[in-house]
Amino acid sequence: MRVVVQEWERVLVYRDGRFTTELGAGRYRLRRRRHAVVRVVVRPRLVVVGGQEVLTADGLSVRLSLAVTSRVVDPRRWHEAVEDADGFAYAGLQVALRDAVADRTLDELLGARGEVGERVRTLVEPTVAAVGVQVETVALRDVMVPAELRRAAAEVATARAQGQAVLERARSEVAATRALANAGRMLTGNPGLLQLRTLQAVEAGGATVVLTPGPTGVGPA
């Protein structure tokens, strides 16, 4: 029989149930009798580990998903080691994700998503290597926080914003009071400034000035 092997695959040849050779890309001719072939795809593949309930170090439950790129580096081991190599690797990723998150609080998890992915990759490497798979990248895809935690975080953010607004208003009032106090001291020490300011207001035409008799004549009220 003729066997054509593509660049992205490898072919395992068995004779009477025993492994004989591994074929790379190219065209081959084998005897049909007593031979069997198994095709194994070796190009990178994307695996999504979705919706895992995980407890953080501070006892909060979050749902996490991963995006993982992997490829088969040992076709024979991938085919012979276990019945379902892909399922075996998937389960290993689930366990590694739980272990990587178990020692982190929710704040640490949200602030270091890249580190969590790298930690998962390190933890799962021995498991997937046993079935001929290499994990190349692991990215923390989604972090789904329970609704009550999202509401609590929104309330904290709102309270923080309101407190900041109150603080800014208080600072503005203090600044205005300080400016009035400084102006009062200036007018007390320099009475002529008040008369000059009164004349400026009259010339501008934008103010009403009431004159009342003073101890030395007529002056501004």
Q: Would you state the pLDDT for residue 156?
A: 56
Q: Would you state the pLDDT for residue 1?
A: 83
pLDDT in tens, 21-45: 999 999 998 887 888 999 999 999 9
pLDDT in tens, 68-120: 999 999 999 999 999 999 999 999 999 999 998 888 888 888 788 888 889 99
The topology (CATH level 3) of 45-150 is Tetrahydropterin Synthase; Chain A (3.30.479)
Query: Cα(first)–Cα(last) distance of the chain, in Å?
Result: 116
pTM: 0.64
Q: Would you state the pLDDT for residue 135?
A: 94
C-alpha 111/C-alpha 150 separation (Å) is: 16
pLDDT confidence of 54, banded at 50, 70, 90? Answer: confident
Residue 218 has pLDDT above 50, yes or no: no
- What's the whole-number mean pLDDT along residues 7-32? 91
Domain coordinates of the chain in residue numbers?
2-41, 45-150
Q: Would you state the pLDDT for residue 209?
A: 57
Q: Would you state the pLDDT for residue 11?
A: 94
Q: Would you state the pLDDT for residue 197?
A: 66
pLDDT in tens, 123-169: 999 999 999 999 999 998 888 776 555 555 455 556 566 677 677 77
Q: Would you state the pLDDT for residue 162?
A: 65
